[in-house]
Amino acid sequence: MNLDQLRQGIDDVDLQIQRLIERRAELAQQVGRVKKADSNDQPVVFYRPDREALVLREVIDRAQGDLPPKRIARIFREIMSACLALEEPTRIAFLGPEGTFTEAAAQKHFGSAGRPAPQTTIRDVFREVEAGSAHYGVVPVENSTEGVVSHTLDCFINSPLKICGEVEMPIHHNLMAAGAIDVRAITQVFSHQQSLAQCRQWLDANIPQATRTAVTSNAEAARMIAEDMPAGEVWVAIGGDMAAARYDLEFVARRIEDEPDNSTRFLVIGSIEPGPTGDDKTSIIVSLENQPGALYGLLEPFKDRNIDMTRLESRPARMATWAYVFYLDFNGHQQDPEVAALLDDLREQCLELQILGSYPRAVL
Ligand SMILES: C=C(O[C@@H]1C=C(C(=O)O)C=C[C@H]1O)C(=O)O
């Protein structure tokens, strides 16, 4: 076939794809009407992360041809995002400002039809969702190089919100400046404290002379470089591609993170509790008495029931009675019989047990 014929073929296929997407959107709107009709005057829950995870896993399972399965799943992610927006425009609070990795994580999880609501602190993200001003929130929880974001875990302790999803993001850092600069002339480097820590060795080796200053986010650092730099100073920022694009900065060096597999895990928080999908995780917070064997008693039921713990984090207790506070992630959904039995075992071992949520394992 020649070029014109091939392009005619593409036009024909595009027409079919478009009509099918439009048909899909109509069906999603009907789903929205059924959800409303079935709601018995309760707040209607349009977003269903469990169903979305199943749709995406199905796409990946049946992928064929040369398109990588995750790439085609991302296309479906966007289609679903547009369909959900027809049912209800979804407002998503995230740790801002615009240009942070958390914004990129929110987009990866909800697609681009979500309405972003940047917040100044992690606590503000919780507040915004608790108050109902945003439907869902996205907050960072752990980084593969730097460990847990303890502030996020602490926010859960006094919050009624549940975890309804997780997002994994590879994190690549750039050194960014407001134009062409001489690296030896750099006086200050700004970024979020976690990003500075993730690039510590690179900074020691390449710009040891620059003062490191932690600011509220790497997007704020990028903004400072673009807008606040005094004459006679050479400031740079560390941040992701989104921050560079948002403030029109140039890359001095790319991928400066010390660990090439640097990644961050984010949590989606909200008031809903997704149903089981067959590949889920559960997160809990427990407090234990300060007595010999307490931690052993917590771990034993996992071994007995052959349930995989994926994270165990200890937090300083806030109340005297809470001698130890632990944050745990494990495989399975609280409605799975084995997990329900495990939770019963744990309740006997712990002073308090708070279920933060069961949610589908990240697909993309
Ligand atoms: C259409 C639905 O509503 C939303 C949109 C979805 C989709 O486009 O496939 C899936 C789940 C929901 O977030 C549904 O619940 O099935």
Boundaries of CATH 3.30.70.260 in the chain?
A: 274-360
232, pLDDT greater than 70: yes
Helix axes 122-130, 150-157, angle to 10 degrees: 30
3-37 helix and 69-87 helix, angle to the nearest 10 degrees? 50
Q: Residue 217 and residue 191: Cα distance in Å, rounded?
A: 6
Mean pLDDT, range 7-11, rounded to an integer: 98
Residues of the chain with CATH 3.40.190.10: 174-259
What superfamily in CATH does domain 3-135 come from? Chorismate mutase (1.20.59.10)
Per residue in 48-67, pLDDT tens? 999 999 999 999 999 999 99
Cβ of residue 52 lying under 6 Å from some atom of ligand 1 = yes
* Residue nearest atom 1 in ligand 1 by C-alpha distance: 28
Nearest atom of ligand 1 to the alpha carbon of 24: 8
Q: Please tell me the least confidently modeled range out of 47-51, 110-114, 188-192, 241-245.
A: 241-245
pLDDT for 308-329, tens place per residue? 999 999 877 665 555 678 999 9
87 close to ligand 1 (CB < 6 Angstrom): yes
Q: Is the CB of 280 under 6 A from ligand 1?
A: no
State which CATH number among 3.10.180.10, 3.40.50.300, 3.90.79.10, 3.40.190.10 fits the domain covering 174-259. 3.40.190.10
DSSP 307-319: --EEEEEEE--SS
Q: Is the CB of 80 under 6 A from ligand 1?
A: yes
CA–centroid distance, 81 to ligand 1, in Å, is: 9
Report yes or no: 117 and 81 within 8 Å, Cβ to Cβ. no
Instruction: Report residue 153 as tokens.
Output: 């875990």
Q: Is the CB of 164 under 6 A from ligand 1?
A: no
For position 218, what pLDDT does the model report? 87
Peptide bond into 337 cis (omega under 30): no
Question: Cα–Cα distance between 282 and 361 in angstroms, integer?
Answer: 9
Residue 138: pLDDT above 80?
A: yes
Q: Please, are residues 106 and 92 in contact by the beta-carbon 8 Å criterion?
A: yes
pLDDT at 289 over 90: no
Which of these ranges, 97-106, 129-138, 267-276, has the smallest mean pLDDT? Answer: 97-106
Count CA atoms within 13 Å of residue 156 on its CB side.
30
Summarize the confidence of residues 219-243 as an average pLDDT.
Answer: 94
Q: Which atom of ligand 1 is nearest to the CA of 35?
A: 15
Asked if 326 and 312 count as a contact pair (C-beta separation under 8 A), the reply is yes
Any atom of ligand 1 within 6 Å of the Cβ of 149:
no
Q: Where are the alpha helices (DSSP H) in 158-213?
A: 193-198, 200-206
Please report the sign of the dihedral spanned by the C-alpha atoms of residue 263, residue 115, residue 46, residue 271.
Answer: positive
> How much is the pLDDT for 318?
63
* Consecutive H or E run containing 152: helix 150-157
- What pLDDT shows up at residue 262? 86
Residue owning the nearest CA to atom 10 of ligand 1:
52
Nearest CA to ligand 1 atom 6: 80
The pLDDT-based confidence of 111 (bands split at 50, 70, 90) is: very high
Q: Are 251 and 289 a contacting pair, CB within 8 Å?
A: no
Block residue for tokens 């994580």: 105
Query: What's the farthest any 2 CA atoms get from each other in the chain?
Result: 78
Phi-psi region of 67 (alpha: psi -120 to 50; beta: other; left: phi over 0): beta
Q: How many Cβ atoms are within 10 Å of 6's Cβ, its own excluded? A: 10
Number of neighbours of residue 2 by Cβ within 10 angstroms: 7
- Which residue has its alpha carbon closest to ligand 1 atom 15? 48
pTM here is 0.90
- Per-residue HEC secondary structure of 51-103 comes to HHHHHHHHHHHCCCCCCCHHHHHHHHHHHHHHHHHHHCCCEEEEECCCCCHHH
Give the pLDDT of residue 323. Answer: 66
* Residue owning the nearest CA to atom 7 of ligand 1: 80
CB atoms within 10 A of CB 40: 6
For residue 55 and ligand 1, the question of a CB distance below 6 A is answered with yes
pLDDT level of residue 280 (50, 70, 90 thresholds): very high
Give per-residue pLDDT as tens, 176-207.
Answer: 999 999 999 999 999 999 899 999 999 999 99
User: Mean pLDDT, the chain, as a whole number?
Assistant: 94
Q: Over 60: is that where the pLDDT of 211 sits?
A: yes
Question: How many whole angstroms from 360 Cα to the centroid of ligand 1?
Answer: 15
* ipTM given for this complex: 0.99
**What is the pLDDT at residue 319?**
59
Residues of the chain with pLDDT > 90, as a percent, come to 82
Q: Which is the closest atom of ligand 1 to the Cα of 49?
A: 13
Rounded to an integer, what distance in angstroms lies between the CA atom of residue 199 and that of residue 191? Answer: 10
pLDDT score for 320 = 56
For residue range 64-109, list pLDDT tens digits in order: 999 999 999 999 999 999 999 999 999 999 988 888 889 999 999 9
Mean pLDDT value of segment 119-144: 95
CATH number of 274-360: 3.30.70.260
Distance CA 25, CA 31 (A): 10
What share of the chain in percent tops pLDDT 70? 98
pLDDT given for residue 117 in this prediction: 97
| 120 CA to centre of ligand 1 in angstroms | 30
User: CATH 1.20.59.10 in the chain, residues?
Assistant: 3-135
Atom of ligand 1 nearest to the CA of 80: 8
